[in-house]
A and B are shown apart, each in its own frame.
Chain A
Amino acid sequence: MRKSDTMQAPGSDQAAINKAGLTRREFVKSASGTGLALAAGTGLSLFSGQAPAFAQSRELHILEWSSFVKPADIETDRQAEEFGKQEGIKVRVEHINANDLNARATAAVESGAGPDIIRLLSNGPHLYAKGLIDHGDLIQEVGGEDIYQTLRDAVYVDGVYRGVPYHSGGGAYVYRRDIFDEVKVGPPQNWDDFMAVGTKVKDLGYPIGQSLGHSFGDPPGFCYTFLWSFGGSLVDENGKVSVDSQATRDSIKYLKEFWKAACDEGGLAWDDTSNNRAFLGETISCTLNGASIYFVAKNNWDEKQNPFVWKLHHFLSPAGPAGRFHTFGGQNSCIMTYSKVQSAAKNYIRFIHKDENFEKFFVINNGYIKGVVPKWEKHEMWSWDPALTPYRELANYGKHIGYPGPYDRRASEVFAKYIVVDLYARAVKGESDDSVIKWAADELKNIYS
C-alpha cells in the first residue's frame, strides 16, 4: 500500500490520483523527463542547422519595400507568382517599410537565414557585400555597360557585382498649377526664383512642404541636392571632409531664409509620407516627391467631379550656382549567400528583367520609377502624360549620395546618421552656421578617419 493511500480522505483529489495509480511525485518525475527529452530533441535539431523533416517544399523569399505606388506591389506579386509556376517553386514576396530594410538585411546576414533576395536601396550592396553572392553574370545579361554608371557603382564592390539594379528613381517637385497661376508665378528655374515663388504661395496659405526629419527618402533627397547645387559637399573626391566651405555657408544662409519665408515649418517632424498627406490634403502647394502624389491623385479622384489631378504638374530641382542636381539611386536585387535556391533566385531576376515583364512594371509605376538602362527613356509612356516628363530627365542630373566622394560604406553611414539632413535642420531651428558646420565636420571626421 502506498503511504499516500492512508493519508487522504476518499473523494479527494489525491484519492482520485491514487485510484488512477499516479502520485504527484511520479507525475513530476515523468513530466520532467518528458520535457527534458523534448528540449534535448529540439535543441539538437536547432543546433544541427537543418530544418525538421516535416517542412521540405522549395520556396523563394523576396524582401522589398512597400511601394508608394500600391499597384506596383500588386504587379510585383503577380509576376512573382507567374515565375513561381514557371519555375516550379513557391515564391513569397514580403513588402515592408523602406526604413526597416537595412535592419532586416543586417539581421539576415548575421543570422545566416532569411529572405533569399533582398531589394537593397541605393548603395546597400556596399554595406552587405560579405553576405551577397557574385552577380557578375546577371549584370551582363541585364545591360552590362549600358546600365547607368551611378547604378553600377552602387552594386560594384571591390571588383565584384554584389547586386543587380532593378529600377531607379529620384524626386522632382510636384506643384499646384492653379495656386501658382493665382499668384502669377511659374515653375522656378533657380533658387532665387523658388524664394520668390515660395514667398507668394505661403502668403496665400499654401506653403512649400519639405521634410527635414529622419526618413530615408525626401529629407536626404532634398538636402544632398541642395548642398551640391551651391557647390558644397560633405567630402571631396578623395574622401576628405569638405563640409566647412563658403558654399556650405551660402546654402545654409539661403535655407534659413527660405524656410521661414516659403516653407511649412512643420516639416522638421515629417517623414516620407507626411508631404504626400499634406499635399493631397491641400495644405501645401509644392513638394519634392517621386511621382506617388500624382499617381494617387490620378487614380483616386473622379476627374469629372473633382479634377484635382489636372491641377498638378512637376518641375526639376532648381539650379544653384553650381548647377542642377538630383539624387539618383536604384533598388537592387541582391541574392544572399545563405540562400539555398540561388539558381531559382537568378532565374527570377532574369524573368523580371525581360522586356515584356519589366515593361508592365514600368508602365504601372506611371513615371514613379525609371529603367536602369537609357532605352527606357524613349518609352512611349513618357509621352502619354506631359506632367511626368520631368522624371524622365532625372538621370541627366543624378548623383549618388556620397558625391563627389567615394560611393562606399562610409557614405552609407553618413546617410544612415542623417548628417546632411541634421546640418540643415539644426540651422533652420536657429543654430549658428559655425556651430552646425563644426558639428557636421566632427561627425564626418569620425566616420572618414
Chain B
Amino acid sequence: MKISTISTTDITKPAGMATKPRVPLLERETVLGYTLLAPALILIVIFMAYPFGLGIWFSLTDKLVGDPGQFVGLKNFLKSFRSQIFWQAAWNTFFFTAVASIFKTILGMWLALILNRKFRFSRFTRAAVLLPFIVPTVLSTLAWLWMFDATFSVFNWVINWFWKLDISLFDLALKEPFRGRVRINWLGDPALAMFSIILVNIWRGVPFFAITFLAGLQTVPQDMYDAGSIDGANGWQRFWNITLPMIKPIVIVVVVFSIVVTFADFQLVYVLTRGGPHNSTHLFATLAFQLGMQSGNLGEGAAIALFMLPFLAVLILWQLLYLRKEEGA
C-alpha cells in the first residue's frame, strides 16, 4: 500500500495498547507540589510579606497611631539621620553584633570540639549545654537582671566575699568607703552595660553554635584525621587543614544566621536596660520600638527598623552566592 493512499482513518492503534488515561489534577507532581506548598506560602505572605510591605509604606508616611498618615517621602529617614540617638543605636547595633558573633563562633567551636570527644556523661552534657538556648529569652534575661542588680547583684556579693579588690580602674566600680565594699555598676555604666548585654547574648547563643558545629564535626571522616596524624600534623594543624575546610559551609550558615538574629535583637536589651543608661545600649530594634510603639510615631519607628534591611540583605545575598559557588566547585 502506498503511503499517500493511507488515510488517517486507516491508522489504528496496535492491538493490546490501551488509551492513555487522563491523569487527575492532584496526581500531577507539579500541581500537587504547589498545593502542598500553598499553606506555607499563604502564611509567609500574610505574616511576613504583608507586614514588610506595610512597614515600608509606614516609613514613607507621617503615620501616627490611629492616624493613616500622609506620604512624606524620605522625611522620616532624614529625621533619623539628624538624631544622635539614631547614630548611637547604629553604632551599638554593629558593635554588639560583631563582638557577640565573634565570641559565639570561637566559643561555640571550642565547645563543639570538646563535646565531640568521648567522655563520661557526654550525652547528658550535650543535652544540658542546650539549656541557655531553649529557656525563653525573657525568663533567662530576668534572671540576669537580678544578677546585675545595682544594689543586690550576686556577682558583686561574690567579689566582695572572696576578694577585697579595689577595681576603681576606668571608673567602673563604685567604691563605698563607708562599708569597705566595692560594687560594679553592671547596668549603670555605659561600657559595662554594653559588656553585660553582649555577655548575656553570648551565653544564650553559644549552645546553638556548639550543637550545630558538633553535627558538622561528626560528618568529618575519622580516616582523614588518621591520615593527617600519619603525615605528622598536630592538633591545631588537623583542625585548620581538615576540620575547618570540611565544615566551612555549616560554619558560614550558622554565623550568618546568628548575625541576622543578633542584629535584630530586642528582648534581651529591652529587659536588661531598655536602651539605657542614656541610650548607650539602644539597638535599632529597641529604638524602633520606643519610637513606634511607646510614643506612637509609627512612621519614624518603621524607618528606624528598615535601616536593618540593607546590611542584612547584603549579608544573606553574599551567603547564598558563596554557598552556590562552593556547591559548583
A interface with B by C-beta (< 8 Å): 25, 28-29, 32, 35-36, 39, 99, 102-103, 105-107, 109-110, 127-131, 202-205, 212-215, 264-271, 274, 277-278, 281, 283, 409, 412-413, 415-418, 421-422, 425-426, 429-430, 439, 442-443, 446
Assess the B150–A267 pair: CB atoms within 8 A.
Answer: yes
Q: In B62-78, which residues have CB < 8 Å from any A CB?
A: 64-67
Task: Give every chain A residue within 8 A of B179 (Cβ-Cβ).
Answer: 205
Q: In B270-304, which residues have CB < 8 Å from any A CB?
A: 273-279, 289-298
Assess the A429–B152 pair: CB atoms within 8 A.
Answer: no
A-B contact pairs, 25 of them (CB 8 A): A25-B27, A32-B32, A32-B36, A36-B35, A103-B294, A105-B65, A128-B66, A204-B178, A205-B176, A213-B276, A264-B150, A265-B188, A266-B151, A266-B185, A267-B150, A269-B185, A269-B187, A271-B274, A274-B150, A277-B149, A281-B152, A409-B296, A421-B278, A422-B276, A422-B278
Between A and B, how many residue pairs show CB distances below 8 Å? 154
Tell me the minimal C-beta distance from B282 to chain A in angstroms: 9
Assess the A215–B39 pair: CB atoms within 8 A.
Answer: no
Q: How far is the CA of A33 from the CA of B186 in the complex (A)?
A: 57
Task: Give every chain B residue within 8 A of A212 (Cβ-Cβ).
Answer: 277-278
Size of the B side of the interface (Cβ < 8 Å), in residues, is 52
Q: Known interface pairs A28-B32, A439-B84. Does A127 touch B295 (Cβ–Cβ under 8 Å)?
A: yes
Task: Give every chain A residue within 8 A of B194 (Cβ-Cβ).
Answer: none
**Chain A residue with Cβ nearest B88:** A439
Tell me the minimal C-beta distance from B246 to chain A in angstroms: 37
One digit per residue, 1 when the CB lies within 8 angstroms of any chain A CB and 0 when it does not, for chain B 26-38 equals 1100001001101
Assess the A267–B66 pair: CB atoms within 8 A.
Answer: no
Tell me the minimal C-beta distance from A234 to chain B in angstroms: 15
Q: Known interface pairs A36-B38, A127-B295, A443-B83. Does A266 touch B183 (Cβ–Cβ under 8 Å)?
A: yes
Task: Give every chain A residue within 8 A of B148 (Cβ-Cβ).
Answer: 269
Task: Give every chain A residue within 8 A of B268 (Cβ-Cβ).
Answer: none
Q: Known interface pairs A214-B273, A268-B189. Does A32 touch B278 (Cβ–Cβ under 8 Å)?
A: no
Assess the A110–B150 pair: CB atoms within 8 A.
Answer: no
Q: Known interface pairs A127-B295, A278-B151. Does A429 touch B190 (Cβ–Cβ under 8 Å)?
A: yes
**Chain A residue with Cβ nearest B290:** A416
**Chain B residue with Cβ nearest A421:** B278
Q: Say yes or no: is B85 at the interface (Cβ < 8 Å to chain A).
A: yes
Assess the B277–A213 pair: CB atoms within 8 A.
Answer: yes
Q: How far is the CA of A130 from the CA of B68 in the complex (A)?
A: 10
Task: Give every chain B residue within 8 A of A277 (Cβ-Cβ).
Answer: 149, 151-152
Assess the A102–B39 pair: CB atoms within 8 A.
Answer: no
Assess the A131–B274 pair: CB atoms within 8 A.
Answer: no
Q: Say yes or no: is B13 at the interface (Cβ < 8 Å to chain A).
A: no
Task: Give every chain A residue within 8 A of B178 (Cβ-Cβ).
Answer: 202-205
Q: In B132-153, which residues have CB < 8 Å from any A CB?
A: 148-152
One digit per residue, 1 when the CB lies within 8 angstroms of any chain A CB and 0 when it does not, for chain B 186-201 equals 1111100100000000
Q: How far is the CA of A269 from the CA of B148 in the complex (A)?
A: 10
Tell me the minimal C-beta distance from B303 to chain A in angstroms: 13
Q: Say yes or no: is B248 at the interface (Cβ < 8 Å to chain A).
A: no
Q: How far is the CA of A357 from the CA of B193 in the complex (A)?
A: 46
Partner of B174, one of A106, A265, A426: A265
Assess the B66–A129 pair: CB atoms within 8 A.
Answer: yes
Tell me the minimal C-beta distance from B76 to chain A in angstroms: 11
Assess the A214–B276 pair: CB atoms within 8 A.
Answer: yes
Assess the A283–B151 pair: CB atoms within 8 A.
Answer: yes
Partner of B79, one of A264, A268, A412, A446: A446
Task: Give every chain A residue within 8 A of B279 (Cβ-Cβ).
Answer: 422
Q: Say yes or no: is B320 at the interface (Cβ < 8 Å to chain A).
A: no
Q: How far is the CA of A412 from the CA of B294 in the complex (A)?
A: 9
Q: How far is the CA of A110 from the CA of B85 in the complex (A)?
A: 26
Assess the B276–A106 pair: CB atoms within 8 A.
Answer: no
Q: Known interface pairs A265-B185, A283-B151. Does A107 touch B293 (Cβ–Cβ under 8 Å)?
A: yes
With A274-B150, A277-B151 given, name 19 new contacts (CB 8 A). A32-B26, A32-B35, A32-B36, A103-B289, A103-B294, A106-B65, A128-B296, A129-B66, A203-B178, A214-B277, A265-B185, A268-B277, A269-B187, A274-B149, A278-B150, A415-B295, A422-B278, A429-B189, A446-B82
Q: Known interface pairs A422-B279, A446-B83. Does A266 touch B294 (Cβ–Cβ under 8 Å)?
A: no
Partner of B150, one of A127, A270, A446: A270
Q: Say yes or no: is B42 at the interface (Cβ < 8 Å to chain A).
A: yes
Task: Give every chain B residue within 8 A of A99 (Cβ-Cβ).
Answer: 274
Tell me the minimal C-beta distance from A149 to chain B in angstroms: 24
Assess the A127–B65 pair: CB atoms within 8 A.
Answer: yes
